[in-house]
């Protein structure tokens, strides 16, 4: 009997069986946890997509009286596309910050949307212990809230001209609310000529180099940065070949030009003399401005230069503002040109003045500002975001107040970001 009690044969087998059982248990637990993590990850993708889709829909349609409910519908649809809807047992809730529905206070304001997605996820081995499913929840918050791109002056330089941006003489360029971004690989992509001017901006960045009187810049230019693409490249100008374009009698237009909500097209070179503009007005030739150039009403105007340039006559007063956000594909854009237009847009000539409010999207064109005459009367104030091919300022006062900062929804320069 004592010998039997002292016999240790077979203990390793017992311990092995115990360890194998424990290992199998841990493996089963790991498999279930892995499955739950995978379900959580897929659900988070759906929640991120839902919040982003809702915020983007609201961003571009916020002026509609049903914008919030429409955005919620779009968010739910985005979750369904990613596999989570009531049809497969999921619960999707879209909350709007504008209605104080978001569960945390940091983004409980207009422009933000919260997506909460939940769904029971079945387990593989926990069912042996009575746990057949676990409820998984994913949450995401996205919105623009007036999130504006870094710059408001983009010199895109598609042909790699040198220089891409020239500041000459007693120029005054002020963009203290936003940044100046210059493409171009050469050492003088940003060229300062003379020592009598000032460039003041929130930031000045250049792909290549800055040359000349760089001390005129506050802050100093940061060189060697990565090039940028047109932040408004998704905007597609109207195609004149799809429109009925007429040549005005004598090549001159006066009085009211264009109609709210309508695209009007004029062919040939046109002079606008004492006009009030409305709607979307397309020009296939060169445009000359003279006298008083105004916006007809609060619905705004988008001027489209399909192939020609634009110039101001001496003494022109221009008071132009873009269509408001939510008013169509060219909302917040006051001046638009396709990438095929490499002409020159000339502002601030002579004693020109007034206010230009809206985005300028002319990514291959040259923006030319000149004449001290404009300085004596304050010049033309431009409340704008600008994307042009080349910028040339010769002694002109050029004040750029970021348009998107003061129009926090509807601008194509705003972007939606995940914030929670």
Concatenated DSSP letters for 190-236?
A: EEEESSS-EEEEEEEEESS-EEE-GGGEESPPEESPPP---TTTT--
Q: What is the pLDDT of residue 39?
A: 77
Domain range summary for the chain, segments of one domain joined by +: 10-143, 151-414
Q: Contact at 8 Å (CB) between 284 and 265? A: yes
Q: Is the pLDDT of residue 14 over 60?
A: no
| pLDDT tens digits along 119-155 | 887 766 665 656 666 788 889 998 876 555 567 889 9
What's the rounded mean pLDDT across residues 96-122?
Answer: 84
Q: What is the pLDDT of residue 312?
A: 86
| pLDDT tens digits along 256-304 | 999 999 999 999 999 999 999 999 999 999 999 999 999 999 899 999 9
267 backbone dihedrals φ, ψ, rounded to 5°: -100, 160
Three-state SS for 122-141 is: ECCCHHHHCCCEEEEEEEEE
Q: What is the pLDDT of residue 210?
A: 93
Q: What is the pTM of this model?
A: 0.72
Instruction: Look at strands 417-418 and 133-143 and give their pairing.
Output: antiparallel
Q: What is the pLDDT of residue 223?
A: 92
229 backbone dihedrals φ, ψ, rounded to 5°: -100, 170
Q: What is the pLDDT of residue 147?
A: 55
Mean pLDDT of the chain, nearest integer: 82
Query: How sure is the predictor about 406, in pLDDT bands with cuts at 50, 70 and 90?
Result: low
340 backbone dihedrals φ, ψ, rounded to 5°: -80, -10
Q: What is the pLDDT of residue 374?
A: 41
220 backbone dihedrals φ, ψ, rounded to 5°: -65, 145
Q: What is the pLDDT of residue 127?
A: 59
- The residue among 365 and 3 whose pLDDT is bigger is 365
Q: What is the pLDDT of residue 373?
A: 42
Q: Which helix (H) or strand (E) holds 51?
A: helix 11-61
| pLDDT tens digits along 294-349 | 999 989 999 999 999 999 888 888 899 999 876 778 888 999 999 999 999 988 65
């Amino acid at each position: 009997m004592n010998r039997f009690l002292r016999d240790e044969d077979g203990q390793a087998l017992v311990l092995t069986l115990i360890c194998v059982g424990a290992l199998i248990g841990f493996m089963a637990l790991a498999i279930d946890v892995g499955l739950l993590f995978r379900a959580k990850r897929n659900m988070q993708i759906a929640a991120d997509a839902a919040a982003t889709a809702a915020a983007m829909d609201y961003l571009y349609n916020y002026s509609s009286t049903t914008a919030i409910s429409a955005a919620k519908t779009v968010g739910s649809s985005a979750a369904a596309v990613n596999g989570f809807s009531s049809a497969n047992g999921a619960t999707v809730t879209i909350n709007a910050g504008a209605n104080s529905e978001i569960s945390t206070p940091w983004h409980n304001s207009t422009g933000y949307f919260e997506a909460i997605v939940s769904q029971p996820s079945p387990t593989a081995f926990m069912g042996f212990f009575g746990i057949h499913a676990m409820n998984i929840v994913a949450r995401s918050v996205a919105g623009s809230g007036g999130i504006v791109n870094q710059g408001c002056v983009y010199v895109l330089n598609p042909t790699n001209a040198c220089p891409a941006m020239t500041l000459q003489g007693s120029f005054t360029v002020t963009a203290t609310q936003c940044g100046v971004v210059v493409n171009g690989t050469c050492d003088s992509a940003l060229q300062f000529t003379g020592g009598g001017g000032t460039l003041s901006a929130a930031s000045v960045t250049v792909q290549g180099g800055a040359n000349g009187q760089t001390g005129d810049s506050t802050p100093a230019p940061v060189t060697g940065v990565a090039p940028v693409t047109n932040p408004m490249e998704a905007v597609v100008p109207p195609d004149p070949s799809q429109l009925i374009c007429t040549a005005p009698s004598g090549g001159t237009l006066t009085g009211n030009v264009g109609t709210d909500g309508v695209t009007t097209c004029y062919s040939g070179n046109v002079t606008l003399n004492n006009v009030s503009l409305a709607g979307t007005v397309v020009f296939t030739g060169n445009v000359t401005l003279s006298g008083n150039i105004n916006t007809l009403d609060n619905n705004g105007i988008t001027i489209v230069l399909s192939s020609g340039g634009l110039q101001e006559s001496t003494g022109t007063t221009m008071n132009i503002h873009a269509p408001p956000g939510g008013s169509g594909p060219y909302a917040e854009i006051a001046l638009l040109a396709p990438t095929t237009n490499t002409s020159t847009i000339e502002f601030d000539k002579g004693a020109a003045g007034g206010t230009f409010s809206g985005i300028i999207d002319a990514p291959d064109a040259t923006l030319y500002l000149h004449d001290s005459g404009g300085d004596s009367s304050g010049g033309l104030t431009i409340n704008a975001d600008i994307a042009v091919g080349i910028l040339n300022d010769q002694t002109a006062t050029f004040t750029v107040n970021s348009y998107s900062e003061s129009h926090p929804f509807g601008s194509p320069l705003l972007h939606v970001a995940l914030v929670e």
